[in-house]
Chain A
Amino acid sequence: MAEMKFIGGYPEYMRELIEVVNKTRPQRKDYTPAAMTAEERKEVLAVHPDYAEGGKRAISIGQNKGDMGPNEVIDLLEAYPLIEPADIDLDKVDYSVDLLIIGGGLAGTAAAIWANNEGIAAEKILLVNKLRHGDSNSIMAEGGTQAADRENDSPAIHWLDAMGGGHFTNKPDVLKGLVEDAPYIMHWLKESGAMIDQDEAGDYVERWGGGTCRKRMHACADYTGLEELRVIRDEFRTRKIPVLEHNPVIELFTDGNRVTGALLWNLETHEYKIVKAKATILATGGFGRLHIRGFPTTNHYGATYDGPVIAYRAGAKLKDTDTVQYHPTGAAYPQQIIGLLLTEKLRSMGAQPVNVKGEAFVFPLEPRDVEASSFIRECYVHDKGVVTPTGMRGIWLDTPMIDVKNGEGTTAKAFPGMVRMFKRFDLDIVADPVLVFPTLHYQNGGVETDPWGKTDLDGLWVAGEVSGGVHGKNRLMGNSTLDCLVFGRRSGMSAAKYLKSGAQSGNLSLTHVDRYVTMLKEAEIAPERKAPILLPEYRGKAVLARMIDV
């Protein structure tokens, strides 16, 4: 094959296709396709990876036996532990704390601060993280955080938007907690020093999110998660709350129906450590790196579903394991950034999805599952996608429309992160559209929670993406950073209350792991898989073929 000729980062043939998009832009400026009716939504969802045939099976053991989930998820629930419980010496406790927090994204970090605010001394808290404190999906959140704080908006409208977006499967009382606390969370962020976009008068700039009927998306340019995380992590650090990085949890300890601590594994030295805790908050995030149905992902390197795996073994209930959120606009080109997120805020500010013929074919701000499905349908059913040099198909996201609609310089100011990411690969999103395709983004379900982050196990709370219930079967934009901050705070406060009411340490045991192994054997599940997997595998196939395990 001859070397491809590139013009402005695009091969010649794609450059010609961009001309088609440029040509129709003036007509599209004042035209937006109508939002879909309930029936139209239902029809397009047939090609969504959650609803398309195959890819799923029922959980065969445990408290959620019979529930459906993606094969990649069930594989991990039906996997053997990394340890033989009998090999672990439970007599030597390495850390004995009041509160153990597993995970250092927005949720875990907020939980630590609020437990501390409620009277739990910093030295009685321990936060452990698989990667570094803050290496998380939270830090990558771009578009914004929802909070109903404008005159024409209310927490009740926010609730109804989220309930409809979740197809009425959200836990109503948990969702109430989310939307009720949102205005306070914006206040707390400001008080902590977060730089949230304001207009001249000092009001927050608030924009559309997919599936909302009010503009309530607060942002920090397109680095919203980065700014929120940086600020509250700094607050955490200045309080000298102990933190242990590169120490993932590989099992919980139980004492009957109660969680009493966790088993850590040092990623670098491979040594295990025992943490005894009176209360434990699980905030391990999501599962993008499982690449469900072979999709690329927006998620960070450690998003491997560790939390639900260990909590399920300990007896916690899961909820909505059957749904996965695919973000409509993952990068489809260039190859180096396939799957990475192009924030929904681009569409909030006018960027239009356009097919290979230069036609706007869908309302740009449908709920994510509907929008993503319409892209898949346009590419694979209507055959109006653009084929990339690596054989992917994609839809144009017409980013130059942002400056056309809002004035020159808007894109550079509102999307420094997006502009930078593409510039690194010689692409200019101000001048040219970008190619997108749905990407695996979010774990909608998880460990079932109540409005205070409590699970059905004593001493165990969950917060953030690892939890299940608040978003039901589909989350709206801007509700995940909010979820982390609201339920991080709530779980920290609730655990503090529990601790102050005189909770004592329990015994440390791994009998639940033995019991789980017995169930696996009884279900005749072969011991080929182990979990949690901790990190995904991307090494070259040629190297793996010649690897010797020493």
Chain B
Amino acid sequence: MNEEKSIMDIIADANKAVTTGIDSADIEHWVNIYIMGRGYKVPAGLTIMQAMEYAGYKFITAAGCRAGFCGACATVYRKEGSYQLKTAMACQTRVEDGMYLVQIPFAPAQEAFYDISKESYNAAMLLKHYPEVARCVACNTCTKACPQDLEVMDYIQAALRGDFEAVAELSFDCIMCGLCAIRCPAEITQFNVAQLARRMYGRYGMKEPEHITKRLAEMEKGNYDDDFKKLLAADIEELKKRYADRKREAD
């Protein structure tokens, strides 16, 4: 180890490509990609998002969490020599040689308005708010488009049957990027249907845990007021002692 460099300096050096952008001098392997038809040579092994940044694009839209949770960086691409359109999240997909890329940062999808507390938990309610679900032709395009690999068509079929639990379980990992809706020939907004179904299942299909109800009643009665009075009156030494004396519950 270099004696003059501190641990912090060494750590910062090792992370430079991630924190300050990539220097081409550090790169050995390259691929060619096309961003809206224009060709760029970019380092191999980056994500699509990192590769576009390397090429000079500063994202204003189409970038959000950069970790696969928000759905902002929905991307459509095809590979050179292929007619197939594929979908991906730009932040979670490795760039490949010959990719033709475009981003779809916004899905102009319709959303129903409802008051969840006034809805009844019956099979017909999903169709009441999203009647187009009945137009599903079971082509499975939505499933193929899903960058989370969810069984989208299956949950739309479950929505048709009014099976809230199945929709909720099958759609739970949805990041609402909208690619299913953009590709659907029946113009169903799958991700919004699933959102409604999950909320209905969460509110009406799942139990209200008794220990929550009990605790709320205790709080209402002021059962913990004395504990807090003591804690807030204690000095730091007393708190430190209490903290050190805590007993950890068994695993």
Contacts and interface: CB of A to CB of B under 8 A. Distances in A.
Contacts of B172: 195, 220-221, 223, 227, 416
Interface in B28-60: 28, 45-47, 50, 53-60
Chain B CB count within 10 A is highest, among A54, A135, A157, A220, for A135
Given A291-B19, A537-B21, A38 B199 contact: no
B68 A160 contact: no
Interface string A132-147: 1011110110000000
Measured as residues with beta carbon below 8 angstroms from the partner, the interface class of chain A is 35 or more
A164 interface: yes
A53 B94 CA distance: 37
Contact of A541 (B21, B55, B94, B114): B21
Contacts of B212: 149, 183, 186-187, 190, 204
Contacts of B166: none
Given A204-B212, A336-B50, A537 B58 contact: yes
Contacts of A159: 228, 231
Interface in B57-113: 57-61, 63-70, 72, 92-94, 105-106, 111-113
A51 B106 CA distance: 43
Interface of A: 1, 38, 47, 49, 52-55, 131-132, 134-137, 139-140, 148-152, 154-157, 159-161, 163-164, 168, 172-173, 176, 180, 183-184, 186-187, 190-196, 198, 201-204, 208, 213-215, 220-221, 223, 225-227, 230-231, 234-235, 237-238, 240, 246, 267-268, 291, 293-296, 298, 300-302, 335-341, 376, 380-381, 390-393, 416-417, 420-421, 424-425, 535, 537-544, 547
4 nearest A-B residue pairs (beta carbon) = A294-B12, A193-B199, A202-B207, A135-B64
Contact of B231 (A172, A187, A194): A172
B217 to A, nearest CB: 10
Chain A CB count within 10 A is highest, among B14, B57, B239, for B14
A184 B203 contact: no
Nearest to A380: B7
B55 A540 contact: yes
B176 interface: yes
Contacts of B114: 238
Given A213-B247, A234-B195, A540-B54, 15 more contacts: A1-B28, A140-B69, A176-B232, A187-B208, A193-B116, A193-B200, A193-B203, A231-B199, A238-B116, A246-B60, A291-B19, A300-B64, A337-B92, A380-B10, A391-B14
A391 B213 CA distance: 52
Interface in B1-34: 6-8, 10-24, 28
Interface residues of B, number: 95
Given A213-B249, A267-B60, A168 B236 contact: yes
Contacts of A191: 117, 203
Contacts of A184: 216, 219
Given A132-B72, A226-B175, A231-B202, A149 B231 contact: no
A24 to B, nearest CB: 21
A49 B94 CA distance: 31
B248 interface: yes
Contacts of B18: 296, 338-339
A468 B106 CA distance: 34
Given A163-B243, A203-B209, A190 B202 contact: yes
B92 A293 contact: no
Contacts of B240: 38, 164, 168
Chain A CB count within 10 A is highest, among B11, B198, B213, B249, for B11
B246 interface: yes
A508 to B, nearest CB: 27
Nearest to B251: A208
A47 B211 CA distance: 42
Interface of B: 6-8, 10-24, 28, 45-47, 50, 53-61, 63-70, 72, 92-94, 105-106, 111-117, 148-149, 168, 172-173, 175-176, 195-196, 198-203, 206-213, 215-216, 219, 224, 227-228, 231-232, 236, 239-240, 242-244, 246-249, 251
B122 to A, nearest CB: 16
Nearest to A3: B29
Contact of A195 (B64, B196, B198, B227): B198
Contacts of B92: 337, 421, 424
A420 B60 contact: no
B58 A535 contact: yes
A140 B67 contact: yes
Given A214-B249, A390-B14, A540-B56, A202 B210 contact: yes
A198 B22 contact: no
Contacts of B60: 246, 267-268, 535
A447 B157 CA distance: 49
8 contacts: A135-B65, A160-B246, A173-B232, A176-B232, A190-B208, A294-B16, A535-B58, A539-B58
Contacts of A425: 94
Nearest to B248: A213
A54 B54 CA distance: 31
Contact of A540 (B16, B47, B53): B53
A295 B19 contact: yes
Contacts of B195: 230, 234
B93 A424 contact: yes
A167 to B, nearest CB: 10
B35 to A, nearest CB: 13
B249 A215 contact: yes
A53 B9 CA distance: 11
Given A160-B242, A223-B69, A335 B14 contact: no
A327 to B, nearest CB: 12
Contacts of A268: 60-61
Contacts of A192: 116, 199, 202-203
Contact of A47 (B7, B14, B45, B93): B7
B15 A338 contact: yes
Contacts of B11: 293-295, 376, 380
